[in-house]
Amino acid sequence: MERHQNLENVLLGDSGYPCRPFLLTPFLNPNCPAQRNYNNAHGRTRSVIERTFGRWTRRFHILHSEIRMQPERVVTLIIACAVLHNIAITLEEPIVDGEEDNAVDEVEGDAAYNGAQDGQAVSDHITRAYFTR
């Protein structure tokens, strides 16, 4: 039985992770322009997240290494860092390295997916829906 996959709630991972319906990874051997476009967009989006993590660790030194607390407390700590980071952005506090934040354009289109619940099928659907010209 096929279920509807909410494509607004997926994670992006590098090629070291297996492709899953909830964890999208790049195509290892893209064989068409649409797959190359998908890989480019995937990489650009992951880059934004990686830069954000870099800013967080520069702003909150506790995030530089292992946090020795109970997992529930670590979650609270990370959420607090995210809230404080957003407040700093709102108050236009300078970013430590002076970089400008790069806004990510939202992609419009029909992202509804109702097919096989494996990662490759989800990636193929996204590639067809957004990256085929």
pLDDT at 2 over 70: no
Model confidence, pTM: 0.61
Give pLDDT, residue 1: 36
CB within 8 Å of 113: residues ≥ 6 apart? 4, 5, 7, 122, 125, 126
Rounded CA-CA distance 120/126 in Å is 10
At 37, list the tokens.
Answer: 């476009």
The residue with tokens 């494996």 is: 118
The DSSP secondary-structure symbol of 96 reads T
118 against 112, higher pLDDT: 118
pLDDT at 117 over 80: no
Residue 2 counted as domain residue = no
Residue 6 counted as domain residue = no
Residue 3 counted as domain residue = no
Domain of residue 121: give its range: 11-103+111-131
Q: How many domains does the chain have?
A: 1
Residue 77 counted as domain residue = yes
Residue 92 counted as domain residue = yes
Give pLDDT, residue 91: 94
Residue 32 counted as domain residue = yes
5 against 92, higher pLDDT: 92
SS3 label, residue 45: helix
